[in-house]
Amino acid sequence: MSSRFRIRTYGCQMNVHDSEKIANLLHHHRWSEARGEDEADLLVINTCSIREKAEHRLYSDLGALRAWKRAAPGRALGVGGCVAQQEGDALLRRFPHLDFVFGTHNLRRVPAMVEAARAGQRSARVDESRSLERFDWPERHPATSEHSPGRAFVTVMEGCDMFCTFCVVPLTRGREISRPARDVIAEVEGLAARGVREVTLLGQTVNAYGRHDVRRGRAAAAGTLGFAELLERLAGVPGIERIRYTSPHPLFFDDALVAAHGRLPALCPHVHLPAQSGSDEVLERMHRRYRAADLVRIAEALRAARPDLVLTTDLIVGFPGESEADFRATLDLVAEIGFVDAYSFKYSPRPGTRAAELPGAPEPAVAQARLEELQGLQRGLTLAAHRARVGTRTRVLLEGPSRRGGTQLTGRDPYHRVVNLDAAEAGLDPERAAGVLLEVEIVEATPHSLIGAPRVTAGLRTGPGQAKFRKSPSGPGPMRTVAARSGVRMPGID
């Protein structure tokens, strides 16, 4: 029987990486990747339930895939990810052409579930596990490619104990669990040996890495460290030139993490700081456990440590009880911090979350108008930040051909901005450019990206400002956060 698979992935980078893990596992079980779904014997949908729209995508996909399933005998169809975790075997009952359902802690069961499906057995596994086994994966198979050459995701922790009232993630990803540091370091060393230059550390609250172990005095036993110390170790891995992490929670920007941004040249000068709102009342109802002023302080501290650092954020409008004044506070915060980009969303009630019970959600038209106003403000900030880059130099890690077509290439600079450039100008074959690290001068700014021109020179200016790296003699400090100094109680830290 031929064995070719395809995976459709929705949602966050953790899902993208989970799909890579599933693909790797299937390669180890003698499957190969099909060029398209038409040629596939197995189709896996990796789902997202962060907002209602994302969840509905699955239901419309599954409806449309009845025809795919019927079109060839022996085809198998599976669903994983956050919707699978929440719905479990209800999905099997609702969709008779669906063969298997696997939860967020059950990825490693996929090959066995596929085999069962091919033998005519339907199954659902969504049991939660607190075991570290979920971090055990076979070595990357030679046929498994990274989402982009030269760059790789590395899981450092999973789950979330924060329970923001709007968020379904603690219900779909379970409790926080951190992976032993030596395993993370070994994985990064292995990636570097294969030519990976940029790693993005992943976790639902990635900078909470190790915090429970550190607080309980059992970090040595668990093999974990504070997050800043982990970064320090990874920055020492030869060949790794860029380290990013996503997504952090503002609460866990402790002094050591802020200092790491000043001390470690490999740590990219970009931080995603999910604000969600600029109103203290809304933040309280969201159970975010910080105030708007704490975010301003974190931004200032990060920029003091690394003057060229840029910030991006996530924002929600139309949260239950959000008044016009609350929304203005969000606009004010965005303008004050000067985010270089923002992902903004209309609040979407999620079943099982506390906010779903809260009264007072603004009218949909009001939420829509707020979203548009916020996005308008952000567009101006983004364009201004891009224009300020014109004339500066930076280094771009190329990802491949740009969507703009022709000989255009696309990549990212250390600030995580998209930079497009011409392959011919750089003397590169567009098909082989992915993974190349190139020095460029920014020659033009557009609303969504920068245009670069290749430059080969010895000196390197780094962008918005000259990066200064301070040597800190003290090393990672105790787990105190910037917010802690302002008197906010730190759950799990104080």
| Residues lying near ligand SF4 in the complex (CB under 6 A) | 160, 162-164, 167, 169-170, 204-205, 249
Q: Is 227 in the site for ligand 5AD (CB under 6 A)?
A: no
Nearest residue (CB) to ligand SF4, 283 versus 329 = 283
Q: Is 276 in the site for ligand 5AD (CB under 6 A)?
A: yes
Question: What letter represents residue 50's amino acid?
Answer: I
Residues 297-316 that bind ligand 5AD (CB under 6 A): 314, 316
Among 126, 167, 445, 450, the residue binding ligand 5AD under the rule CB under 6 A is 167
Closest CA to 72 of 45, 48, 97, 44: 97
Q: How far is the CB of 224 from ligand 5AD (least distance, A)?
A: 24
Nearest residue (CB) to ligand 5AD, 62 versus 160 = 160
Contact 197, 235 (CB under 8 A): no
For residue 205, the partner it binds in ligand 5AD, ligand SF4, none, with Cβ less than 5 to 8 A by kind, is ligand SF4
Radius of gyration in angstroms for the set of CA atoms belonging to the chain, rounded to a whole number? 23
Three-state DSSP class for residue 427: coil
SS3 per-residue string spanning 399-418: EEECCCCCCEEEEECCCCCE
For residue 163, the partner it binds in ligand SF4, ligand 5AD, none, with Cβ less than 5 to 8 A by kind, is ligand SF4
What is the DSSP track for 250-265? Answer: GGG-BHHHHHHHHH-T
Handedness of CA 431, 437, 441, 447 (dihedral sign): positive
Q: Which residue is nearest to ligand 5AD (CB)?
A: 314
Beta-ladder partners of 310: 270
Nearest residue (CB) to ligand SF4, 69 versus 285 = 285
Among 85, 204, 348, 402, the residue binding ligand 5AD under the rule CB under 6 A is 348
Nearest residue (CB) to ligand 5AD, 51 versus 105 = 51
Contact 254, 210 (CB under 8 A): no
Separate counts of helices (H) and strands (E) for the chain: 17, 19
d(CA 253, CA 251): 6
d(CA 150, CA 465): 26
Nearest residue (CB) to ligand 5AD, 165 versus 462 = 165
For residue 170, the partner it binds in ligand 5AD, ligand SF4, none, with Cβ less than 5 to 8 A by kind, is ligand SF4
Output the CA–CA distances (angstroms, integers) from residue 462 to 238, 303, 356, in the order listed. 21, 15, 45
| Structure tokens belonging to residue 238 | 């030869």
For residue 6, the partner it binds in ligand 5AD, ligand SF4, none, with Cβ less than 5 to 8 A by kind, is none
Nearest residue (CB) to ligand 5AD, 100 versus 347 = 347
For residue 316, the partner it binds in ligand 5AD, ligand SF4, none, with Cβ less than 5 to 8 A by kind, is ligand 5AD
Q: How far is the CB of 201 from ligand SF4 (least distance, A)?
A: 15
Beta-ladder partners of 246: 202
Nearest residue (CB) to ligand SF4, 208 versus 225 = 208
- From the number of C-beta atoms within 10 Å of its C-beta (0-12, 13-18, 19+), residue 60 rates as exposed
Candidates 108-116, 346-354, 379-387, 472-480: pick the segment binding ligand 5AD (CB under 6 A).
Answer: 346-354
Among 10, 166, 252, 253, the residue binding ligand 5AD under the rule CB under 6 A is 166
Closest CA to 374 of 396, 403, 343: 343
Q: Is 292 in the site for ligand 5AD (CB under 6 A)?
A: no
d(CA 395, CA 80): 37
Q: Is 81 in the site for ligand 5AD (CB under 6 A)?
A: no
State the pairing for strand pair 310-317/32-33: unpaired
For residue 245, the partner it binds in ligand 5AD, ligand SF4, none, with Cβ less than 5 to 8 A by kind, is none
Q: Is 51 in the site for ligand 5AD (CB under 6 A)?
A: yes
Residues that bind ligand 5AD (CB under 6 A): 50-51, 166-167, 274, 276, 314, 316, 345, 347-348, 350
